[in-house]
Structure 1
Protein backbone atom coordinates (compact mmCIF):
# COMPACT_ATOMS: atom_id res chain seq x y z
CA UNK A 1 0.00 0.00 0.00
CA UNK A 2 1.28 3.45 -0.90
CA UNK A 3 1.97 5.67 2.10
CA UNK A 4 1.31 9.41 2.33
CA UNK A 5 3.34 11.84 4.43
CA UNK A 6 2.06 15.42 4.78
CA UNK A 7 4.67 17.93 5.91
CA UNK A 8 4.25 20.43 8.74
CA UNK A 9 4.05 23.52 6.54
CA UNK A 10 0.81 22.46 4.89
CA UNK A 11 -0.97 22.13 8.24
CA UNK A 12 0.40 25.49 9.40
CA UNK A 13 -0.84 27.14 6.20
CA UNK A 14 -4.39 26.23 7.23
CA UNK A 15 -4.24 29.05 9.79
CA UNK A 16 -4.03 31.69 7.07
CA UNK A 17 -6.32 30.28 4.41
CA UNK A 18 -9.62 31.84 3.34
CA UNK A 19 -11.04 28.33 2.98
CA UNK A 20 -12.68 26.30 5.75
CA UNK A 21 -9.81 24.45 7.49
CA UNK A 22 -12.24 21.84 8.78
CA UNK A 23 -13.28 20.90 5.25
CA UNK A 24 -9.66 20.47 4.15
CA UNK A 25 -8.78 18.48 7.28
CA UNK A 26 -11.77 16.23 6.63
CA UNK A 27 -10.27 15.32 3.26
CA UNK A 28 -6.91 14.61 4.87
CA UNK A 29 -8.73 12.44 7.42
CA UNK A 30 -9.98 10.24 4.57
CA UNK A 31 -6.32 9.35 3.88
CA UNK A 32 -5.60 8.18 7.45
CA UNK A 33 -5.02 4.52 6.51
CA UNK A 34 -2.24 5.71 4.20
CA UNK A 35 -0.80 8.40 6.48
CA UNK A 36 2.62 8.25 8.11
CA UNK A 37 3.99 10.98 10.37
CA UNK A 38 7.61 11.15 11.50
CA UNK A 39 7.14 12.25 15.10
CA UNK A 40 9.19 15.39 14.48
CA UNK A 41 6.38 16.63 12.19
CA UNK A 42 3.99 16.39 15.14
CA UNK A 43 6.50 18.25 17.34
CA UNK A 44 7.09 20.94 14.71
CA UNK A 45 3.37 21.55 14.31
CA UNK A 46 2.73 21.88 18.04
CA UNK A 47 5.77 24.13 18.43
CA UNK A 48 5.10 26.43 15.46
CA UNK A 49 1.31 26.76 15.55
CA UNK A 50 1.63 29.09 18.56
CA UNK A 51 3.97 31.34 16.57
CA UNK A 52 1.45 31.51 13.73
CA UNK A 53 -1.38 32.33 16.12
CA UNK A 54 0.74 34.97 17.86
CA UNK A 55 1.37 36.66 14.50
CA UNK A 56 -2.37 36.71 13.82
CA UNK A 57 -3.03 38.16 17.28
CA UNK A 58 -0.33 40.80 16.87
CA UNK A 59 -1.88 41.80 13.56
CA UNK A 60 -5.19 42.38 15.33
CA UNK A 61 -3.56 44.64 17.91
CA UNK A 62 -2.40 47.00 15.16
CA UNK A 63 -6.03 47.47 14.09
CA UNK A 64 -7.16 49.04 17.35
CA UNK A 65 -8.74 52.42 16.65
CA UNK A 66 -7.87 55.56 18.56
CA UNK A 67 -9.90 58.64 19.39
CA UNK A 68 -11.12 60.37 16.22
CA UNK A 69 -9.64 63.79 15.57
CA UNK A 70 -12.76 65.96 15.55
CA UNK A 71 -12.55 69.75 15.04
CA UNK A 72 -14.21 71.94 17.68
CA UNK A 73 -16.94 72.89 15.23
CA UNK A 74 -18.36 69.34 15.31
CA UNK A 75 -17.68 68.22 18.87
CA UNK A 76 -21.24 68.87 20.00
CA UNK A 77 -22.72 66.99 17.06
CA UNK A 78 -24.76 63.98 18.26
CA UNK A 79 -23.06 61.73 15.73
CA UNK A 80 -19.66 62.35 17.29
CA UNK A 81 -20.79 60.57 20.46
CA UNK A 82 -22.09 57.71 18.32
CA UNK A 83 -18.72 57.56 16.57
CA UNK A 84 -16.95 57.32 19.94
CA UNK A 85 -19.28 54.52 21.07
CA UNK A 86 -18.75 52.62 17.83
CA UNK A 87 -14.98 52.86 18.22
CA UNK A 88 -15.17 51.64 21.81
CA UNK A 89 -17.39 48.70 20.84
CA UNK A 90 -15.04 47.84 17.99
CA UNK A 91 -12.02 47.84 20.32
CA UNK A 92 -13.83 45.69 22.90
CA UNK A 93 -14.67 43.13 20.22
CA UNK A 94 -11.11 43.25 18.88
CA UNK A 95 -9.59 42.61 22.31
CA UNK A 96 -12.10 39.84 22.99
CA UNK A 97 -10.99 38.17 19.77
CA UNK A 98 -7.36 38.72 20.77
CA UNK A 99 -8.12 36.94 24.05
CA UNK A 100 -9.72 34.03 22.19
CA UNK A 101 -6.59 33.62 20.07
CA UNK A 102 -4.38 33.68 23.16
CA UNK A 103 -6.64 30.99 24.61
CA UNK A 104 -5.93 28.85 21.56
CA UNK A 105 -2.20 29.39 22.03
CA UNK A 106 -2.38 28.18 25.63
CA UNK A 107 -4.75 25.28 25.01
CA UNK A 108 -4.54 23.24 21.77
CA UNK A 109 -7.97 21.79 22.57
CA UNK A 110 -9.42 25.28 22.02
CA UNK A 111 -7.79 25.43 18.58
CA UNK A 112 -9.91 23.49 16.05
CA UNK A 113 -6.98 22.93 13.69
CA UNK A 114 -4.67 21.65 16.44
CA UNK A 115 -7.46 19.56 17.94
CA UNK A 116 -8.12 17.78 14.65
CA UNK A 117 -4.41 17.39 13.92
CA UNK A 118 -3.80 15.76 17.31
CA UNK A 119 -6.81 13.46 16.86
CA UNK A 120 -5.42 12.46 13.48
CA UNK A 121 -1.96 11.75 14.90
CA UNK A 122 -3.53 9.58 17.62
CA UNK A 123 -5.76 7.63 15.25
CA UNK A 124 -4.81 3.92 15.28
CA UNK A 125 -4.82 3.83 11.47
CA UNK A 126 -2.09 6.50 11.26
CA UNK A 127 1.51 5.40 11.66
CA UNK A 128 3.68 7.71 13.75
CA UNK A 129 7.36 6.97 13.10
CA UNK A 130 9.65 7.66 16.03
CA UNK A 131 13.11 9.14 15.68
CA UNK A 132 16.10 7.52 17.33
CA UNK A 133 19.55 8.74 18.30
CA UNK A 134 20.95 6.87 15.32
CA UNK A 135 18.60 8.73 12.97
CA UNK A 136 19.60 12.06 14.50
CA UNK A 137 23.27 11.19 13.92
CA UNK A 138 22.44 10.29 10.31
CA UNK A 139 20.62 13.60 9.92
CA UNK A 140 23.67 15.48 11.24
CA UNK A 141 25.89 13.67 8.75
CA UNK A 142 23.47 14.54 5.94
CA UNK A 143 23.64 18.19 6.97
CA UNK A 144 27.44 18.19 7.06
CA UNK A 145 27.66 16.53 3.65
CA UNK A 146 25.25 19.07 2.17
CA UNK A 147 22.87 16.38 0.94
CA UNK A 148 19.19 17.28 0.59
CA UNK A 149 16.76 17.88 2.08
CA UNK A 150 18.35 20.92 3.68
CA UNK A 151 16.84 22.71 6.67
CA UNK A 152 17.29 26.50 6.66
CA UNK A 153 20.06 27.76 8.89
CA UNK A 154 23.16 26.01 10.11
CA UNK A 155 21.85 24.81 13.46
CA UNK A 156 18.63 22.97 12.55
CA UNK A 157 18.14 19.50 11.07
CA UNK A 158 14.36 19.11 11.06
CA UNK A 159 14.03 18.27 7.36
CA UNK A 160 17.00 15.93 7.58
CA UNK A 161 15.43 14.06 10.51
CA UNK A 162 12.09 13.79 8.70
CA UNK A 163 13.79 12.29 5.68
CA UNK A 164 16.02 9.86 7.58
CA UNK A 165 12.99 8.68 9.58
CA UNK A 166 11.05 7.96 6.41
CA UNK A 167 13.98 6.11 4.82
CA UNK A 168 14.49 3.96 7.92
CA UNK A 169 10.85 2.95 8.37
CA UNK A 170 9.27 2.63 4.94
CA UNK A 171 9.61 0.04 2.22
CA UNK A 172 6.63 0.92 0.06
CA UNK A 173 5.82 3.69 -2.43
CA UNK A 174 5.46 7.14 -0.87
CA UNK A 175 3.61 10.32 -1.77
CA UNK A 176 5.26 13.17 0.12
CA UNK A 177 3.10 16.30 0.29
CA UNK A 178 5.11 19.40 1.12
CA UNK A 179 5.38 23.09 0.33
CA UNK A 180 9.04 23.10 1.31
CA UNK A 181 11.10 23.86 -1.78
CA UNK A 182 14.14 21.93 -0.53
CA UNK A 183 12.28 18.76 -1.55
CA UNK A 184 11.00 20.14 -4.84
CA UNK A 185 14.41 21.44 -5.92
CA UNK A 186 16.10 18.10 -5.22
CA UNK A 187 13.42 15.71 -6.43
CA UNK A 188 15.78 13.71 -8.69
CA UNK A 189 18.29 13.07 -5.91
CA UNK A 190 15.62 12.22 -3.33
CA UNK A 191 13.68 9.93 -5.68
CA UNK A 192 16.80 7.92 -6.45
CA UNK A 193 17.86 7.76 -2.79
CA UNK A 194 14.40 6.60 -1.76
CA UNK A 195 14.44 3.89 -4.43
CA UNK A 196 17.84 2.62 -3.25
CA UNK A 197 17.25 2.74 0.50
CA UNK A 198 13.51 2.16 0.86
CA UNK A 199 12.92 0.16 -2.30
CA UNK A 200 9.87 2.10 -3.41
CA UNK A 201 8.83 4.89 -5.73
CA UNK A 202 8.67 8.46 -4.45
CA UNK A 203 6.31 11.21 -5.59
CA UNK A 204 6.87 14.72 -4.23
CA UNK A 205 3.95 17.12 -4.59
CA UNK A 206 2.46 20.17 -2.91
CA UNK A 207 -1.11 18.92 -3.42
CA UNK A 208 -3.14 16.76 -1.06
CA UNK A 209 -5.44 16.11 -4.02
CA UNK A 210 -2.66 14.08 -5.66
CA UNK A 211 -2.84 11.71 -2.70
CA UNK A 212 -6.65 11.56 -2.74
CA UNK A 213 -6.52 9.54 -5.94
CA UNK A 214 -5.42 6.61 -3.74
CA UNK A 215 -8.93 6.51 -2.30
CA UNK A 216 -10.66 7.52 -5.52
CA UNK A 217 -11.92 10.85 -4.18
CA UNK A 218 -11.86 14.03 -6.24
CA UNK A 219 -10.73 17.14 -4.35
CA UNK A 220 -13.38 19.50 -3.05
CA UNK A 221 -13.58 23.05 -4.46
CA UNK A 222 -12.20 24.31 -1.13
CA UNK A 223 -9.14 22.08 -1.40
CA UNK A 224 -8.62 23.09 -5.02
CA UNK A 225 -8.64 26.76 -4.04
CA UNK A 226 -6.35 26.10 -1.07
CA UNK A 227 -3.91 24.44 -3.44
CA UNK A 228 -3.98 27.49 -5.67
CA UNK A 229 -5.38 26.12 -8.88
CA UNK A 230 -8.74 26.14 -10.62
CA UNK A 231 -11.17 23.26 -10.72
CA UNK A 232 -10.36 22.36 -14.32
CA UNK A 233 -6.78 21.51 -13.35
CA UNK A 234 -7.88 19.23 -10.52
CA UNK A 235 -8.83 16.30 -12.67
Structure 2
Protein backbone atom coordinates (compact mmCIF):
# COMPACT_ATOMS: atom_id res chain seq x y z
CA UNK A 1 0.00 0.00 0.00
CA UNK A 2 1.41 3.36 -1.03
CA UNK A 3 0.90 6.69 0.74
CA UNK A 4 -1.32 7.66 -2.20
CA UNK A 5 -3.49 4.57 -1.58
CA UNK A 6 -3.80 5.49 2.09
CA UNK A 7 -4.93 9.05 1.42
CA UNK A 8 -7.41 7.96 -1.21
CA UNK A 9 -8.93 5.63 1.40
CA UNK A 10 -9.00 8.39 4.04
CA UNK A 11 -10.60 10.86 1.64
CA UNK A 12 -13.22 8.34 0.54
CA UNK A 13 -14.13 7.76 4.19
CA UNK A 14 -14.43 11.51 4.79
CA UNK A 15 -16.47 11.94 1.63
CA UNK A 16 -18.91 9.27 2.83
CA UNK A 17 -19.39 11.11 6.14
CA UNK A 18 -19.94 14.42 4.30
CA UNK A 19 -22.76 12.77 2.34
CA UNK A 20 -24.16 10.85 5.32
CA UNK A 21 -24.39 13.95 7.50
CA UNK A 22 -25.49 16.33 4.76
CA UNK A 23 -22.42 18.54 4.98
CA UNK A 24 -21.86 18.91 1.24
CA UNK A 25 -23.83 22.15 0.79
CA UNK A 26 -22.63 23.80 3.98
CA UNK A 27 -19.77 26.24 4.07
CA UNK A 28 -18.03 25.28 7.27
CA UNK A 29 -14.62 26.78 7.78
CA UNK A 30 -11.80 24.72 9.17
CA UNK A 31 -9.08 27.04 10.33
CA UNK A 32 -5.69 25.40 10.48
CA UNK A 33 -2.83 27.10 12.25
CA UNK A 34 0.38 26.04 13.97
CA UNK A 35 0.10 26.13 17.75
CA UNK A 36 2.64 27.63 20.10
CA UNK A 37 4.48 25.22 22.40
CA UNK A 38 2.33 26.26 25.37
CA UNK A 39 -0.90 25.87 23.38
CA UNK A 40 0.15 22.43 22.16
CA UNK A 41 1.74 20.80 25.19
CA UNK A 42 1.46 23.28 28.06
CA UNK A 43 4.45 23.41 30.40
CA UNK A 44 5.72 19.83 30.66
CA UNK A 45 8.31 18.80 33.24
CA UNK A 46 10.89 18.07 30.51
CA UNK A 47 12.16 20.18 27.62
CA UNK A 48 13.36 17.42 25.28
CA UNK A 49 10.14 16.91 23.28
CA UNK A 50 10.48 17.70 19.54
CA UNK A 51 7.83 20.43 19.68
CA UNK A 52 9.61 22.15 22.59
CA UNK A 53 12.92 21.98 20.71
CA UNK A 54 11.30 23.59 17.67
CA UNK A 55 11.69 20.54 15.43
CA UNK A 56 7.94 20.08 14.91
CA UNK A 57 4.79 22.14 15.07
CA UNK A 58 1.26 21.08 15.80
CA UNK A 59 -1.51 21.95 13.38
CA UNK A 60 -4.92 22.59 14.92
CA UNK A 61 -8.23 22.48 13.07
CA UNK A 62 -11.62 23.43 14.49
CA UNK A 63 -14.91 22.16 13.12
CA UNK A 64 -18.26 22.72 14.86
CA UNK A 65 -16.37 23.46 18.10
CA UNK A 66 -14.50 20.15 17.87
CA UNK A 67 -10.70 20.23 17.62
CA UNK A 68 -8.33 18.02 15.68
CA UNK A 69 -4.55 18.15 15.66
CA UNK A 70 -1.59 16.79 13.72
CA UNK A 71 2.18 16.94 14.19
CA UNK A 72 4.35 17.99 11.28
CA UNK A 73 7.63 19.66 10.38
CA UNK A 74 5.99 21.51 7.47
CA UNK A 75 2.87 23.62 7.75
CA UNK A 76 0.62 26.20 6.12
CA UNK A 77 -1.92 28.50 7.75
CA UNK A 78 -5.18 28.04 5.86
CA UNK A 79 -8.97 28.21 6.08
CA UNK A 80 -11.15 25.96 3.94
CA UNK A 81 -14.43 24.08 3.82
CA UNK A 82 -14.95 20.46 4.77
CA UNK A 83 -15.23 19.59 1.09
CA UNK A 84 -12.05 21.58 0.54
CA UNK A 85 -10.20 19.00 2.60
CA UNK A 86 -10.88 16.51 -0.18
CA UNK A 87 -8.99 18.77 -2.59
CA UNK A 88 -5.79 19.00 -0.54
CA UNK A 89 -2.70 17.74 -2.35
CA UNK A 90 -1.69 14.62 -0.44
CA UNK A 91 1.64 14.45 -2.30
CA UNK A 92 2.80 17.41 -0.15
CA UNK A 93 3.66 17.06 3.52
CA UNK A 94 2.21 20.42 4.56
CA UNK A 95 -1.13 19.65 2.91
CA UNK A 96 -1.21 16.16 4.43
CA UNK A 97 -0.85 17.85 7.84
CA UNK A 98 -3.80 20.11 7.06
CA UNK A 99 -5.92 17.21 5.86
CA UNK A 100 -5.18 15.04 8.90
CA UNK A 101 -5.89 17.86 11.38
CA UNK A 102 -9.15 18.59 9.56
CA UNK A 103 -10.09 14.92 9.34
CA UNK A 104 -9.51 14.52 13.08
CA UNK A 105 -11.68 17.57 13.80
CA UNK A 106 -14.55 16.40 11.58
CA UNK A 107 -14.46 12.83 12.92
CA UNK A 108 -14.30 14.13 16.50
CA UNK A 109 -17.31 16.38 15.91
CA UNK A 110 -19.25 13.39 14.56
CA UNK A 111 -18.14 11.29 17.56
CA UNK A 112 -16.37 8.83 15.27
CA UNK A 113 -13.07 9.11 17.14
CA UNK A 114 -11.71 10.52 20.38
CA UNK A 115 -8.46 11.86 21.84
CA UNK A 116 -7.73 14.39 19.10
CA UNK A 117 -6.10 16.97 21.42
CA UNK A 118 -2.58 16.50 22.79
CA UNK A 119 -2.00 15.96 26.49
CA UNK A 120 -0.32 18.74 28.48
CA UNK A 121 1.84 19.56 31.47
CA UNK A 122 2.40 16.43 33.60
CA UNK A 123 0.26 14.18 31.40
CA UNK A 124 3.06 13.05 29.01
CA UNK A 125 4.79 11.41 31.98
CA UNK A 126 1.55 9.78 33.10
CA UNK A 127 1.05 8.47 29.57
CA UNK A 128 4.51 6.89 29.59
CA UNK A 129 3.97 5.39 33.04
CA UNK A 130 0.73 3.78 31.89
CA UNK A 131 2.47 2.42 28.81
CA UNK A 132 4.65 0.01 30.77
CA UNK A 133 1.60 -1.34 32.60
CA UNK A 134 0.34 -2.78 29.30
CA UNK A 135 1.40 -6.45 28.83
CA UNK A 136 2.07 -5.98 25.12
CA UNK A 137 4.94 -3.61 25.99
CA UNK A 138 6.77 -5.96 28.33
CA UNK A 139 9.76 -8.18 27.58
CA UNK A 140 9.87 -7.32 23.87
CA UNK A 141 12.33 -6.08 21.30
CA UNK A 142 10.60 -2.82 20.43
CA UNK A 143 11.35 -0.59 17.46
CA UNK A 144 10.43 2.93 18.57
CA UNK A 145 9.84 4.99 15.44
CA UNK A 146 10.14 8.67 16.26
CA UNK A 147 12.01 9.67 19.41
CA UNK A 148 9.45 10.30 22.14
CA UNK A 149 11.75 10.75 25.14
CA UNK A 150 9.33 9.74 27.90
CA UNK A 151 8.25 6.61 26.06
CA UNK A 152 11.88 5.61 25.57
CA UNK A 153 12.71 6.37 29.21
CA UNK A 154 10.03 4.00 30.45
CA UNK A 155 10.19 1.34 27.73
CA UNK A 156 13.87 0.60 28.38
CA UNK A 157 12.99 -0.39 31.95
CA UNK A 158 11.55 -3.71 30.75
CA UNK A 159 12.33 -4.04 27.04
CA UNK A 160 15.16 -3.96 24.55
CA UNK A 161 14.58 -0.86 22.42
CA UNK A 162 15.95 0.54 19.19
CA UNK A 163 14.99 4.06 18.11
CA UNK A 164 14.70 5.44 14.59
CA UNK A 165 14.38 9.19 14.05
CA UNK A 166 14.42 11.61 11.10
CA UNK A 167 15.95 14.55 13.00
CA UNK A 168 19.66 14.68 12.11
CA UNK A 169 20.36 16.41 15.44
CA UNK A 170 19.13 13.27 17.25
CA UNK A 171 20.78 10.65 15.04
CA UNK A 172 23.98 9.32 16.62
CA UNK A 173 23.19 10.67 20.07
CA UNK A 174 22.39 8.50 23.06
CA UNK A 175 19.25 8.70 25.22
CA UNK A 176 18.68 6.47 28.23
CA UNK A 177 21.45 4.16 27.06
CA UNK A 178 20.05 3.78 23.53
CA UNK A 179 21.80 5.14 20.45
CA UNK A 180 19.39 6.96 18.14
CA UNK A 181 19.54 5.63 14.58
CA UNK A 182 18.58 7.17 11.25
CA UNK A 183 15.16 6.33 9.86
CA UNK A 184 16.84 4.96 6.75
CA UNK A 185 17.66 1.81 8.72
CA UNK A 186 14.01 0.83 9.05
CA UNK A 187 14.41 -2.48 7.19
CA UNK A 188 17.12 -3.67 9.57
CA UNK A 189 14.96 -2.50 12.48
CA UNK A 190 11.96 -4.41 11.20
CA UNK A 191 14.01 -7.61 10.87
CA UNK A 192 15.26 -7.18 14.44
CA UNK A 193 12.13 -6.24 16.37
CA UNK A 194 9.20 -8.12 17.88
CA UNK A 195 6.90 -5.11 17.51
CA UNK A 196 6.78 -1.55 16.20
CA UNK A 197 5.75 1.44 18.30
CA UNK A 198 5.56 4.34 15.87
CA UNK A 199 4.55 7.97 16.06
CA UNK A 200 1.27 8.70 14.35
CA UNK A 201 2.96 11.56 12.50
CA UNK A 202 4.34 8.91 10.13
CA UNK A 203 1.02 9.28 8.32
CA UNK A 204 1.90 12.93 7.67
CA UNK A 205 5.55 12.48 6.66
CA UNK A 206 4.63 9.45 4.54
CA UNK A 207 6.83 6.84 6.24
CA UNK A 208 3.86 4.93 7.68
CA UNK A 209 3.96 2.67 4.62
CA UNK A 210 7.20 1.11 5.95
CA UNK A 211 5.36 -0.24 8.99
CA UNK A 212 2.08 -1.51 7.55
CA UNK A 213 1.72 -5.12 6.45
CA UNK A 214 5.39 -5.72 7.26
CA UNK A 215 4.82 -8.94 9.19
CA UNK A 216 5.33 -7.33 12.61
CA UNK A 217 2.61 -5.98 14.94
CA UNK A 218 2.51 -2.18 14.94
CA UNK A 219 0.99 0.31 17.37
CA UNK A 220 0.83 3.99 16.46
CA UNK A 221 0.88 6.64 19.18
CA UNK A 222 -0.39 10.17 19.56
CA UNK A 223 -3.29 12.36 18.48
CA UNK A 224 -2.29 12.63 14.81
CA UNK A 225 -3.37 9.07 14.07
CA UNK A 226 -6.76 9.28 15.83
CA UNK A 227 -9.22 9.32 12.91
CA UNK A 228 -6.88 7.56 10.45
CA UNK A 229 -6.52 4.63 12.88
CA UNK A 230 -10.30 4.24 13.01
CA UNK A 231 -10.59 4.34 9.22
CA UNK A 232 -7.61 2.09 8.47
CA UNK A 233 -8.15 -0.34 11.36
CA UNK A 234 -4.79 0.38 13.03
CA UNK A 235 -3.84 -0.23 16.65
CA UNK A 236 -3.17 3.02 18.48
CA UNK A 237 -2.10 4.32 21.89
CA UNK A 238 -2.95 7.73 23.37
CA UNK A 239 -3.66 7.29 27.07
CA UNK A 240 -3.85 10.95 28.14
CA UNK A 241 -5.12 12.64 24.99
CA UNK A 242 -8.26 14.76 25.17
Work out whether the TM-score is over 0.5.
no
Asked which structure has the greater CA Rg, the reply is 1
Hey, which of these two has a bigger chunk of strand by percent?
2
Compute the TM-score of the two structures, normalised by the length of structure 2: 0.29
Compute the TM-score of the two structures, normalised by the length of structure 1: 0.30
